[in-house]
Amino acid sequence: MKLDIFCLGILLERNYSGYEIHKVINTTLAHLRQASFGALYPALNRLQAKEFISSEAITEDHLNDGLGKKVFAITDKGRAHFKAEIKKITAAEVVNSDFLSALHFSNNLTPIEVSTLVDERLADLQKEQRRLLRLPTKEVSEGQRFAIRYTLSQISAAVTFLKGEGRAIQTLMSKQH
């Protein structure tokens, strides 16, 4: 899903500042996608230019520094656009994996480099698995719960695979060198 549409979906739940949207994407929804501030703010600017969202500057007097924040809200036009766009989404999933790309070209790596990649990926997956298991699944919608469980099943399969096949490629590469 394009970041613009993803942001509209988040704003359907409630109004957020850009910082809060960034936090939601990269923590609570990190299993679905991630976004840097450098990608997020241009997306919010595009949405605002198309009148899919509006913003209100809020001054936070208690900070005494005069800085405020901008809080974004979805408009009726944005709601309609989100509903139209989400209906266009297919079941296809896009894979863009640095890890798998590196393994594909692993004949250009040393056995230690491959071993490090496998170990790091396994550790990252296990960390994400623990994070997802801590999410409050009783407080979310059925669709959100499904997405969390689906991601957990993918991660569990990847962990199992890496514990077996990941160790196997490490052993094979060590024997070749």
Identify the weakest region by mean pLDDT among 5-9, 66-70, 73-77, 117-121.
Answer: 66-70
28-62 per-position pLDDT tens digit: 999 999 999 999 999 999 999 999 999 998 876 55
Residue 77 has a pLDDT of 98
Whole-angstrom distance, CA of residue 59 vs CA of residue 17? 12
126-148 per-position pLDDT tens digit: 999 999 999 888 888 999 999 99
Share of the chain above pLDDT 70, in %: 94
91-114 per-position pLDDT tens digit: 888 888 899 999 999 888 888 899
pTM of the model: 0.79
Question: Side by side, which strands form the sheet with 68-74?
Answer: 16-17, 68-74, 53-59
The CATH code of domain 3-88 reads 1.10.10.10
Of 127, 163, 141, 157, nearest to 30 by C-alpha is 127
- In this structure, what are the phi and psi dihedrals at residue 35, rounded to the nearest 5 degrees? -155, 135
The residue behind tokens 């198309």 is 50
CA angle centred on 34, ends 71 and 145, rounded to 5°: 90
Residue spans of the domains in the chain: they are 3-88, 98-176
| DSSP code, position 97 | -
